[in-house]
Amino acid sequence: MFIVHVVAAIGWLIAAVFAYAFITLFGYFGVGFYGLLLLFICMQIELEPDAVSPHQPLLGIGFFKALGVGLTVFGFGGFLFFQLG
């Protein structure tokens, strides 16, 4: 079980470094794009025929969809406000 936690922590670390680099390079637009990417991945998971059954939906997918919407609104809103405003 310890190995699973280490692999998960390394995966989250790689994802965090990628997100940080992406956001520092592209600013608020990067945050909005990252949110859209997260929404796209969540929708692809939901549309898979074998991924989710109607009686037992994935519990974490709702959190990540809400996070994707929040990142998209925050990112593109900040981009419009600070870059074009």
- Whether the model pTM is above 0.75: no
Compute the mean pLDDT over every residue in the chain, rounded to the nearest whole number: 83
What share of the chain has pLDDT > 70, as a percent?
88
- Whether residue 62 has pLDDT greater than 90: no
pLDDT tens, residue by residue, 68-78: 899 899 989 98
The residue to which tokens 């940080």 are assigned: 20
Burial string for 29-68 (b: 16+ CB within 10 Å, else e) reads: bbbbbbbbebbeebeeeeeeeeeeeeeeeeeebeeebeeb
Domain region containing 56: 2-83
Q: How far apart are CA 70 and CA 55, in angstroms?
A: 27
List, in sequence order, every residue forming a beta bridge with 56; answer none if it has no partner.
53
pLDDT tens, residue by residue, 32-46: 988 999 899 888 888
pLDDT value at residue 16: 84
Average pLDDT (54-69) is 77
Number of domains in the chain: 1
pLDDT tens, residue by residue, 43-58: 888 887 776 566 666 6
Q: How far apart are CA 14 and CA 33, in angstroms?
A: 18
Amino acid at 62: G
The residue to which tokens 């969540």 are assigned: 42
